[in-house]
Structure 1
Amino acid sequence: MRAWANSHRVLREALDTLAMEQPELRQWTIAFEYELPRERGRRPDVVLLTHDRVLVLEFKDHPRPSRVEQTAHIDQVAAYARDLQHYHAASHHLAVLPVLVYAHRPGLQEERGEVIVLGPDRLKSHLTSFVAASSPQFDHMAWLNADYAPLPTLVSAARRLFEHEPLPAIRRAQSAGIEQTVAALIDAARTAHEQGEHHLALVTGVPGAGKTLVGLQFVYARTVKEGEGERDAVFLSGNGPLVSVLQHALENKVFVQGVHDFLKQYGAHRDRLPEEHIWVYDEAQRAWDAQQVLEKRGHATSEPEDFLRLGAQMTGWAMLVGLIGEGQEIYIGEEGGLAGWNTALQNSEKPWTLHAPEKITHLFSHATSVIPNNALDLTVSLRSHLAEDLYLWVHALLAGEDERARHLITRIQAQGFEVYLTRDLEIAKEYVRTRYKGAEDKRYGLLASSKASNLKQVGLDAWNLGVKAYNAGPWFNNPPLDPKSCCQLTRLASEFVCQGLELDFPIVCWGTDLKWTGQDWQSPTPRTPAAGKRVPENPHRLRVNSYRVLLTRGRDGMILYVPAQTALDQTYSYLQALDLPELPSRSEIWQDRVLETT
């Protein structure tokens, strides 16, 4: 109540005299506590509609905010303005400007990127520049009533789909080709059904491009629209945490199932056949090879061969959709990649028609026929909102391409995606808690490599404090104050738990399992496995891919936490040299407070 009263007081002091001096200002509109639809808890304090632009004002009562708090406040109001610019239907052609006002810091006026930071006595002079009657004023009531369509998380999108709600028409999803990809799969399924054929469709995409959403929409479309009420499609994943999270969110275990359980029941020449004729296999490039299946299920048939044999047994027709992530093989037995599918086609008893992007069709010499279709290649990251270059930056970072990484981080930050560096975990926690205070639907949490044994020294144990697959649902879905929620910042999610899922602002905890040597990245030589255990073909590639997964989970941004350990000094220096902004340390914050007190 006090904060609201202070913002009201500051606005009256600024606007009363300004309205008398320039009557044109009386045509402006003030919206207090403008709630962003579908985003519970996200409310800019004030949206001020002038004659030709939108001002987003966020008021803070802090008389002496720490540098971390101020950074979080600045990023908060910048994100409000960015989201209104891109997701509010009536704002696409207007300038949307963020303003941060500290009610108890008179004399303050500075620019922090695109954000203007003001004290209460400077607001009037700042607003004066926006008073003009020379151009026609846009329709304020139409703006207030316009649709706001935020980019849904994977979980919220799945929940809407299976509650038979239409997904919002998101410009970014449309430009990324999601609709065309789903339409291409529907056409291929219809052809397979009508002609009694066997079809394999492969959808490729960078992390966060919406492959899983495509699979879920396709299953939904076949079940609700195409199948006339019959269930003829199922979404399968070898990613146990993803299955757990989606089943937890949907309160349904029929449409989303674990691929290994599915093949245990129907694979390996078993007599039972599934009800569904269409199987969507998420992360199909990670399908187990024959040796891994032998170790885990007792028969030497690779998962690609198991699926195609099952398809050959189906009455009439079958279709398999493989969703292919790039550079995300992180388990032993997944390193065969797409080659395993070509081998399965060679050994199949039935002819298979392949639908795939042109860039991978040359890998499938044993398909009976090939239909190239570039609508099946998703190249734009949806997860990270506007950071289309995030995946390219992560690739450059992990390839040691420092010049390219520096160039790309500048572009990413300009697009509204924040990446911070710190050696102080408590500072990282303070930032995310401050930034998302009161935002019920926002999720932030700790991510770390499963091999980061050094984190035990800073109180984080990837094994004892790690989220198990069966607990992933509550960790990702439960509200921030729930003890099981990721927002409690007490339990780590490894690459195995977070793959295919997302957080708004993860804290990625760096381990000594991937260190910068001054020339390149190095990972430890794995210990000799116990008798009967398998040695990875390329353990370093699995480590690099693990960090590729961890670094591509964020939607708004991420913090890279590199513990203050001698073994990671070179890694920290390398990340510093890539021009990543650093969160201030506690000693710097203490010095600021001493100077203010003095």
Structure 2
Amino acid sequence: MVAYASYTAEEFLNAPEDLIFARLVRSDAVSGFSQFSHKQGWSWGEAIRLMKSACEQLIAADHRHSGVGVVLEYRIPRREKRLDAAFLFCNTVAVIEFKAGSSSATSEAIAQVSDYCLDLAYYHAQSQGKKIVPIVCSTEALSSHLLPASNETLISDIHCAGGSDLSALLLQLASEDPKSPDGSISHEHWCSSSYRPIPGIIETTVSLFNKHGAEDIEAALADRGTIDRSIEAIQRIIEESRDGNQKTLCLLTGVPGAGKTLTGLRIAHSPDSLRTGWRSVFLSGNGPLLRVLKAALAADYKDRQGCTKALAQRHAESLLHSVHAYLAEAQKSQSPTSENIIIFDEAQRAWDAAKMQKMAGRQRSFGVVSELAPQLDQASEPSQILAVMDRHVEGAVVIALCGSGQEIHDGEAGVGEWIAARNKDYPHWRLICSPSALELGRADPVKVDAETSSSMHLNISVRSHRASAYAAWVDAVLRGKPVEARLHADHEEFPVVLVRQLDEARRWLRATTLGSRRFGLVASSGCSRLRPYGIEVSAGFRKELDYAEWFTAPKGDLRSSFALETAATEFECQGLELDRVAVCWGWDLTLAEKELSPRTFRGTSWNAVRKSRDRQYIINKYRVLLTRAREGMVIWVPLGDEHDRTRSVAEMDELANYLVECGVKPISGADDSN
């Protein structure tokens, strides 16, 4: 049930109050609420009375308003909440949160109605492109006031009104509403409209693993054409591998924010996959990602089960696994694993042979000895995974989820190592990949003997809601193509602004991030000269911080991203996201002869990076940082210090001008020490 009730203004005005009330009570029972409180009934009664008065005055002012839509208790998927009421004009949707008996609008009520309006603006087809007006109606308030919303959001200013002012406010909105030849928005069409939210990775993980709200997640992802197509293709491959006792390696590639992790989680929990009779395991080598997701799972499980924190943590540990720990456990014997399907997230970051040998040597120094053949210690991580899964006689599937251009650290092998490992030691494995995977792996399609499919590539970013070209914008910026980048810039759908003071970036985040949306600072781990501004990115400092709290703690908690005191680097935020971010740009990536020039800081000076692979690592760091936001981004380019040669003023001025040339919107603010 999408809404408890909906009418035209004339129908609502003429309907007896007791019949409207009875309809709400019946709908509440059908929705699964077994107990009906006196407080809820009284609140509905107050809302119905005020809404009837508003409908009467609207129709009296202009009979055309008799067709205005009136919706009560519309369910917001994923939030497990319902907006109290909405008035549907021609090109305006007024969303009302009633607070019966209250004399003022609380911050909680303001955040609640802001969330509803943002969700409608982003996800609700019939509301997109409309003016979305949030209203908190505190029935006993003696006066009304307006809370300005930033121009960088998709919703209007927030009205805090008293019950006696509601009718006048709705009349004002009606008079300001651009009239449509088709009249008011149909309440039937609005209620039945497509609503496809894009869930965040933390929310998706909690919903899918703990099964509450999972249907909303499934419905949301099913409507993303490329994701749905890829999932169907992989499910067919799993069935073919099982039926034919075949071993298959799938390389699923995608642009940043395309939903690779979401796709992998959905495959792992798909009823079709489970019906094959094969068990699956979701692995990641991304330690910070696992810690954050496990913390979110544990917190949710503790709240729902009322258990101890320790028990909740053990529950979370059983659901998500580190690929390094999984391999270490598998190496204790030669037996097949209990899972026939491995889904390896962030697979482009799998370690090469040198890194694996180094880590094996470190383990031996602590007395940890593998029972496998010694030569396996010298194999790359992709090769070791294929070796472990090759033990299955009845077949197996490895699904490697690979980001494009997201290798960020020495020892990360990239897509090419998966192809090389299969070709060298496991040619009997079927290889299915995207054409993009062969390009990334610099592999000859003829020699590789691969089956290529466009279904194995996710080419549209879904992280940033409606800005599907955003990943292309980032790519053009990092390739030094400002003209091309400007073609992909879309400030209405996804604002990207530039500031020169850090405090201005903080102000922008606080002013434009509404409701329960999350914001935070991100910076490259190579930005060591941001220290004078209070941004510390050294490894030792970051080890002291709990980034699970940074990503999940609420406003008011100094450990959270909301505090804007600490920045997450590419290592902490890869695979994760925030609604809005401030990217703190450093001197490790500046311009030289109109091209981006990666550098490292050693001792007291910056040094150019010569090796192409190391240069790409630094550029990829910024690719990660620039693709973390879901709704908007501010880029802070420091002013520099003419007395400090490690913080060149000219270099940052040139970089700022380049970003503006790429389509970033500059925002001027008061000058300060930052």
Summarize deviations over 1:1-48 as a string: whole Å, max 9, x none: xxxxxxxxxx999999765442332543567998844348997x9843
Q: Normalising to structure 1: TM-score of the pair?
A: 0.78
Residue pair 1:466, 1:491 contacting (<8 A) in 2 also: no
Letter of the 1:324 counterpart: C
> 2:469 aligns to what?
389
Hey, what's the Cα distance between the residues in 2 that align with 1:233 and 1:314? 13
Deviates more, 1:572-581 or 1:28-37: 28-37
> 1:522 aligns to what?
597
Residue pair 1:509, 1:562 contacting (<8 A) in 2 also: yes
| Matching residue within 252, 270, 282 for 1:221 | 270
- SS of residue paired to 1:262: helix
| Matching residue within 326, 329, 334 for 1:262 | 326
Go from structure 1 to structure 2 and tell me whether the alpha carbon gap of 1:227 and 1:111 turns closer, same or farther (over 3 Å shift).
closer
Letter of the 2:322 counterpart: G
Hey, what's the Cα distance between the residues in 1 that align with 2:654 and 2:180? 57
Go from structure 1 to structure 2 and tell me whether the alpha carbon gap of 1:369 and 1:398 turns closer, same or farther (over 3 Å shift).
closer
Hey, what's the Cα distance between the residues in 2 that align with 1:429 and 1:307? 44
> 1:545 aligns to what?
620
Go from structure 1 to structure 2 and tell me whether the alpha carbon gap of 1:85 and 1:114 turns closer, same or farther (over 3 Å shift).
closer
Runs of 5+ unmatched residues, structure 2: 1-50, 98-109, 136-142, 160-164, 299-315, 362-376, 604-609, 642-647
- SS of residue paired to 2:385: helix
> 1:157 aligns to what?
204
> 1:594 aligns to what?
none
Summarize deviations over 1:91-123 as a string: whole Å, max 9, x none: 16x752245999669xx9x99998777999999
Residue pair 1:449, 1:510 contacting (<8 A) in 2 also: yes
| Matching residue within 317, 327, 341 for 1:278 | 341
Go from structure 1 to structure 2 and tell me whether the alpha carbon gap of 1:196 and 1:37 turns closer, same or farther (over 3 Å shift).
closer
Go from structure 1 to structure 2 and tell me whether the alpha carbon gap of 1:123 and 1:216 turns closer, same or farther (over 3 Å shift).
closer
- SS of residue paired to 1:166: helix
TM-fit CA distance, 1:293: 1.0
- SS of residue paired to 1:445: strand
> 2:354 aligns to what?
291
Summarize deviations over 1:432-474 as a string: whole Å, max 9, x none: 223335x23x211111101101111011111279654983322
> 1:345 aligns to what?
422
Summarize deviations over 1:276-315 as a string: whole Å, max 9, x none: 1211111222221111111112332111221222222233
Residue pair 2:69, 2:184 contacting (<8 A) in 1 also: no
Go from structure 1 to structure 2 and tell me whether the alpha carbon gap of 1:485 and 1:243 turns closer, same or farther (over 3 Å shift).
same
Is it true that 1:311 corresponds to 2:374 in the alignment?
A: no
Deviates more, 1:575-584 or 1:189-198: 575-584
Is it true that 1:87 corresponds to 2:123 in the alignment?
A: yes
Aligned length: 542
Hey, what's the Cα distance between the residues in 2 that align with 1:148 and 1:338? 35
TM-fit CA distance, 1:142: 6.4
- Could you say which structure has the greater relative contact order, defined with CA pairs below 8 angstroms and 6 or more residues apart? 1
Residue pair 1:241, 1:470 contacting (<8 A) in 2 also: no
> 2:63 aligns to what?
23
> 1:48 aligns to what?
87
Hey, what's the Cα distance between the residues in 2 that align with 1:131 and 1:490? 44
Letter of the 2:662 counterpart: L
Hey, what's the Cα distance between the residues in 1 that align with 2:558 and 2:225? 37
| Matching residue within 84, 97, 112 for 2:131 | 97
Is it true that 1:128 corresponds to 2:175 in the alignment?
A: yes
- SS of residue paired to 2:130: strand
Summarize deviations over 1:197-254 as a string: whole Å, max 9, x none: 21101101001101111111111127973255x7x21111111111112222233223
Q: What pairs up with 1:55-204 in 2 under 5 angstroms?
A: 55-56=93-94, 83-85=119-121, 87-88=123-124, 91=126, 96-98=130-132, 127-128=174-175, 130=177, 135=182, 137-140=184-187, 143=190, 148-164=195-211, 165-168=214-217, 174-204=223-253
RMSD: 4.1
Residue pair 2:200, 2:577 contacting (<8 A) in 1 also: yes
Go from structure 1 to structure 2 and tell me whether the alpha carbon gap of 1:171 and 1:153 turns closer, same or farther (over 3 Å shift).
closer
Deviates more, 1:139-148 or 1:309-318: 139-148
- SS of residue paired to 2:483: helix
Q: What pairs up with 1:137-536 in 2 under 5 angstroms?
A: 137-140=184-187, 143=190, 148-164=195-211, 165-168=214-217, 174-221=223-270, 225-226=274-275, 232-251=279-298, 252-267=316-331, 270-298=333-361, 299-334=377-412, 336-348=413-425, 351-361=428-438, 363=443, 370-409=450-489, 412-414=490-492, 416-437=493-514, 439-440=515-516, 442-463=517-538, 467-468=542-543, 471-517=546-592, 519-525=594-600, 527=602
Hey, what's the Cα distance between the residues in 1 that align with 2:612 and 2:355? 13
Go from structure 1 to structure 2 and tell me whether the alpha carbon gap of 1:80 and 1:561 turns closer, same or farther (over 3 Å shift).
farther
Letter of the 2:93 counterpart: L
Q: Percent identity between the aligned chains?
A: 29
Q: What pairs up with 1:518-597 in 2 under 5 angstroms?
A: 519-525=594-600, 527=602, 538-566=613-641, 567=648, 568-586=652-670
- SS of residue paired to 2:253: strand
- SS of residue paired to 1:571: helix
Letter of the 1:317 counterpart: G
TM-fit CA distance, 1:188: 1.1
Go from structure 1 to structure 2 and tell me whether the alpha carbon gap of 1:455 and 1:370 turns closer, same or farther (over 3 Å shift).
same
Hey, what's the Cα distance between the residues in 1 that align with 2:432 and 2:357? 30
Go from structure 1 to structure 2 and tell me whether the alpha carbon gap of 1:104 and 1:32 turns closer, same or farther (over 3 Å shift).
farther
Go from structure 1 to structure 2 and tell me whether the alpha carbon gap of 1:424 and 1:30 turns closer, same or farther (over 3 Å shift).
farther
Residue pair 1:244, 1:471 contacting (<8 A) in 2 also: no
> 1:4 aligns to what?
none
Deviates more, 1:237-246 or 1:483-492: 483-492
Hey, what's the Cα distance between the residues in 2 that align with 1:516 and 1:173? 42
Deviates more, 1:493-502 or 1:169-178: 169-178
Hey, what's the Cα distance between the residues in 2 that align with 1:469 and 1:193? 46
Summarize deviations over 1:163-219 as a string: whole Å, max 9, x none: 232244657752432122112112111222222221101101001101111111111
Runs of 5+ unmatched residues, structure 1: 1-10, 60-72, 529-534, 589-598
Summarize deviations over 1:401-459 as a string: whole Å, max 9, x none: 111122221xx224x1111111222232233223335x23x211111101101111011
Hey, what's the Cα distance between the residues in 2 that align with 1:96 and 1:156? 27
Residue pair 1:283, 1:323 contacting (<8 A) in 2 also: yes
TM-fit CA distance, 1:355: 1.1
- SS of residue paired to 2:623: helix
> 1:5 aligns to what?
none
Hey, what's the Cα distance between the residues in 2 that align with 1:141 and 1:292? 60
Hey, what's the Cα distance between the residues in 1 that align with 2:237 and 2:571? 32
Letter of the 2:320 counterpart: V
Go from structure 1 to structure 2 and tell me whether the alpha carbon gap of 1:377 and 1:575 turns closer, same or farther (over 3 Å shift).
same
Hey, what's the Cα distance between the residues in 2 that align with 1:22 and 1:128? 10
Letter of the 1:292 counterpart: K
- SS of residue paired to 1:235: strand
Deviates more, 1:470-479 or 1:396-405: 470-479
- SS of residue paired to 2:580: coil
Deviates more, 1:291-300 or 1:548-557: 291-300
Letter of the 2:351 counterpart: W
Residue pair 2:207, 2:217 contacting (<8 A) in 1 also: no
